[in-house]
Amino acid sequence: MSLISLIKVTKSFETKLVIKEASFTLEARSVTLFTGSSGIGKSTLLEIMAGIQAPDTGIVKRSAPISFMFQDNALIPWLTAEANLSYILPKNSDPKKWAERIAALLDFFQLEKGDYPHTMSGGMRRRLSLARTFLLKRPIIILDEPFAFLDENWHHLVSSLIVEAYRDNAALVIAEHSLNPALKEALEEKITVCELQDSPIELRLE
């Protein structure tokens, strides 16, 4: 089942063409990894998939809600770690029902519920951003450089979460500079690696 479809999507910033007629289909229970150097347009591609950015031309179809981890975390500076997580809870949901899952995620990522993002290190903010992404268990999870600012031990722990989401039938899209050894070890042949070498991105994954 196709969860996201990109059909001949083009995107440019002023005169610079970043994505040229890219086509891509995301199936359920899949892991797709986009690798490539900085500035090639990986984040733009992911944000177009999620609907954060609109393409100049082309069609984007989405058939399921998305969890997205932003490259710059997009945390709310004046809310605590716990409040940053509960901020995205669905309308009319019972916070008590979610309290246990939020506590478990904060515990997993070794974060204090009362800490504010401005008091955290870069790695801690990354972990909080990851915790928010995995909170809702949505069918599509898009991760923009999930291993950045994290040490090797955390690479294994984050990879284990990715595997868990994959086993729960989620479709995952990840952008990284290269295939992380921890992720490779965890997912083995289940991962589809797409190396983006040239700009503009001309993707054909249908």
Partner 1 sequence: MPPFLKISCFQKSKKKYPLLKFLNAIAPYLFFALIWLLCILILNFTLGSALAPNPIAILKKLWALIYSTELFRQLGITVWRGLVGVFFANIVGLILGVLAGKIGFLLRFTAPLVAGLQSCPPIVWISFVMVWAGTGSLVPIATVFAATVPFVFSNTAQGVMGLPVRVLSMSRLYDVPFWRVFTKVTLPGILPYWLAGLSTVLATSWKAAAVAEFMGSQDGAGARIYWCYSHLNLEELNVWAISLIVLGILLEGLFITPLRKKAAQMAAQGEACL
Q: How far apart are CA 106 and CA 49, in angstroms?
A: 28
Q: How far apart are CA 8 and CA 16, in angstroms?
A: 17
State in angstroms the smallest separation of the CB of 137 from partner 1: 13
Nearest CB to partner 1, comparing residues 117 and 146: 117
Q: How far apart are CA 161 and CA 57, in angstroms?
A: 35
Nearest CB to partner 1, comparing residues 54 and 103: 54
Provide the binding-site residues for partner 1, judged by CB under 8 A: 50-52, 65-68, 70, 72-79, 83, 87-88, 90-91, 116-118, 120, 125, 136
Among the listed residues 30, 64, 28, 22, the one whose alpha carbon sits nearest the alpha carbon of residue 46: 22
State in angstroms the smallest separation of the CB of 89 from partner 1: 9
Nearest CB to partner 1, comparing residues 45 and 186: 45
Alpha carbons within 13 A on the beta-carbon side of 88: 23
State in angstroms the smallest separation of the CB of 36 from partner 1: 22
* 26 contacts 166 by C-beta, under 8 angstroms: no
State in angstroms the smallest separation of the CB of 156 from partner 1: 26
Nearest CB to partner 1, comparing residues 133 and 180: 133
State in angstroms the smallest separation of the CB of 82 from partner 1: 13
24 CB-near residues (< 8 Å, 6+ apart)? 4, 5, 6, 49, 203, 205, 206
Nearest CB to partner 1, comparing residues 52 and 157: 52
16 CB-near residues (< 8 Å, 6+ apart)? none
